[in-house]
């Protein structure tokens, strides 16, 4: 019999080496996330996928699935906290959905809708950030970067380049590109690079392709992000067998 964990009482099978996110996605259970994409090394930074594992908060995208885990995902408290974390991402940057080309295709916006985020809640930071439109085909709008590092990972892991990196500390974190001038035009980026197309927000855009799909006909205009994410991962939802009674302990070694 395969190994299992429970998520919100549902029994979910997993294989060794899978994270809680992997197991959940495969079983058709959506856990909100922004910095995670199944084909890239998990990062664990956005913290939207925080789940409660046997009483302790963990990032589902990095935490290994282990026998005996009783995972809470869709609790009122976690949904509320995820909403606040999303609001944090909105206020630290400059996100003006109505004037953004990515609207309707934006995962940040879609997650916000999914979590029923109706306002910013926190005071806006209005940071002074720039737009790098130096490149002929690709542009960076730093106002919309959420530091998920997906472009960094895609460039390194898929494109075999290192066009992007995150630099700086704390709230001063920012995306940098690999060119002495600091400008995108002097990097070896190509509009067909995976890194260009992986951005969950409108921070990285291909020029002269704006509004080709009209607003109202975009990915998240008709579907919730959970449907889209699960369909993309090719998951086969399993019906809940029965509520589990299993409560186990994690066999992990804690640091000092």
Least Å from the CB of residue 126 to another protein: 12
Given a contact cutoff of 8 angstroms between Cβ atoms, the answer to whether 21 and 49 are in contact is yes
Check residue 49 and report its DSSP letter: T
Q: Which stretch binds another protein (CB under 8 A): 89-97, 130-138, 194-202, 211-219?
A: 89-97
Q: Is 239 in the site for another protein (CB under 8 A)?
A: no
At 16, list the tokens.
């060794």
For the packed helices 107-114 and 225-232, what is the interaxial angle rounded to 10 degrees? 120
Least Å from the CB of residue 146 to another protein: 8
Least Å from the CB of residue 231 to another protein: 26
Q: Is 108 in the site for another protein (CB under 8 A)?
A: no
At 124, list the tokens.
């806006």
Q: Is 178 in the site for another protein (CB under 8 A)?
A: yes
Given a contact cutoff of 8 angstroms between Cβ atoms, the answer to whether 203 and 167 are in contact is no
What's the CA gap between 20 and 33, in Å, rounded?
12
Q: Is 37 in the site for another protein (CB under 8 A)?
A: no
Residues 6+ apart with CB under 8 A from 206: 137, 138, 191, 196, 197
At 127, list the tokens.
């940071």
For another protein, the closer of residues 88 and 219 by Cβ is: 88
Q: Is 173 in the site for another protein (CB under 8 A)?
A: yes
Least Å from the CB of residue 172 to another protein: 7
Least Å from the CB of residue 224 to another protein: 22
User: What SS3 class is residue 15?
Assistant: coil
- Residues in contact with another protein by CB under 8 A are 42, 44-48, 50, 57, 59, 62-64, 81, 84-85, 88-89, 91-92, 122-123, 125, 146-147, 162, 164-173, 176-180, 252-256
């Amino acid at each position: 019999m395969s190994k299992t964990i429970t998520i919100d009482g549902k029994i979910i099978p997993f294989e060794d080496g899978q994270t809680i996110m992997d197991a959940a996605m495969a079983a058709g259970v959506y856990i909100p996330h922004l910095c995670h994409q199944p084909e890239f090394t998990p990062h664990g930074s956005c913290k939207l996928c925080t789940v409660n594992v046997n009483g302790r908060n963990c990032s589902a995208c990095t935490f290994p699935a282990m026998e005996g885990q009783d995972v809470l995902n869709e609790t009122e408290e976690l949904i509320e906290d995820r909403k606040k974390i999303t609001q944090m991402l909105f206020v630290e940057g400059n996100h003006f959905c109505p004037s953004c080309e990515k609207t309707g295709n934006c995962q940040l916006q879609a997650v916000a809708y999914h979590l029923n985020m109706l306002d910013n809640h926190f005071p806006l930071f209005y940071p002074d950030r720039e737009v790098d439109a130096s490149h002929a085909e690709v542009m960076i709008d730093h106002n919309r970067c959420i530091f998920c590092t997906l472009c960094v990972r895609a460039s390194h892991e898929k494109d075999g380049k290192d066009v992007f990196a995150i630099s700086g500390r704390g709230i001063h974190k920012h995306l940098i590109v690999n060119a002495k001038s600091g400008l995108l035009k002097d990097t070896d980026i190509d509009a067909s690079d995976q890194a260009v197309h992986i951005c969950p927000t409108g921070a990285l855009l291909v020029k002269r392709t704006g509004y080709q799909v009209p607003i109202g006909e975009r990915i998240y205009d008709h579907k919730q992000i959970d449907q889209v994410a699960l369909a993309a991962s090719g998951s086969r939802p399993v019906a809940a067998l029965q509520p589990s009674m299993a409560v186990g302990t994690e066999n992990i070694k804690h640091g000092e």
